[in-house]
Amino acid sequence: MLSARSLFQEILDDDESFRLFCSIAASGESQGGWENARIAALVPPGERGLAPKIARHGADEDKHGRIFRALLKKRGLAPAPVPPETDYTALLERHGIGLAHDRLRADRPLGVPDIVTYLAHSRVTEQRASEQMELLRRHFADHPDMGRAVRMISDDEDNHLAYCHEELLRLAAAGHGRAIQRTLRACALAEIRIYRDVSLAVMAHMGRILGWPGAKSALLALGIHAVYAYERVLGWRRMVSLRMPEHRNALDRPATEYA
């Protein structure tokens, strides 16, 4: 029977598919680390209290990149080149979601609208990351090689999502509510399309590596399209709602490191 667990298990059991999986993940996390570090350095004067939280967010993303590279090293594998069509983070930036890298490379402070854009983008993408890691945690929390990494990254992604909710609600109370909702909706609708395209590309590469029969690849592609159809009609709304998290100040807590 084709299930999320059996699919991930098949990818993890094969060195080449595992190598590609970890390489894609490490690349995206490292890119997110750079983006957050630059944003932390450019926070406008009136929002300087955010800088340590954004820097912590970036440090966590860097840590996740190191974790995936460590998993590769543990199996004696070198990172694989990341196919451009599987680069979720780069594709989001290319489609104008979040802050452009050219803007982040410029040494001039961001404005509050930029911070709204950053937090809205993060709220949408962290929702995806939190859900993906929860899925892996459900099936592989006790895996001898992946378990500790999955649990740690899952906790971090939940903290990042909570922080985005809290800060966006603070900015909404300060009068930015309409801009926040408009930006969240645009980010969510773009993200679900890019996530579909990246998912199809990743599964195509995995299918070639693992020698999947055409029927299996077609069934997986059908499932990805079905998820997109649901998200396009209704599911995107979960990415734009805001609620105060149960645990406040999630990024003020001590960071955990992966050894």
Domain ranges of the chain: 4-252
What's the mean per-residue pLDDT of the chain? 94
- Cα 217 from chain centroid? 24
Fold (topology level) of 4-252 = Ferritin (1.20.1260)
pLDDT one-digit tens code per residue, 221-259:
999 999 999 999 999 999 999 999 988 888 886 666 654
Which pTM does this prediction carry? 0.94
Picking from 137, 148, 123, 139, the residue whose alpha carbon sits closest to that of residue 250 is 123
| DSSP one-letter code for 176 | I
**In the prediction, which pLDDT does 256 show?**
65
Say if residues 69 and 30 touch (Cβ distance below 8 Å). Answer: no
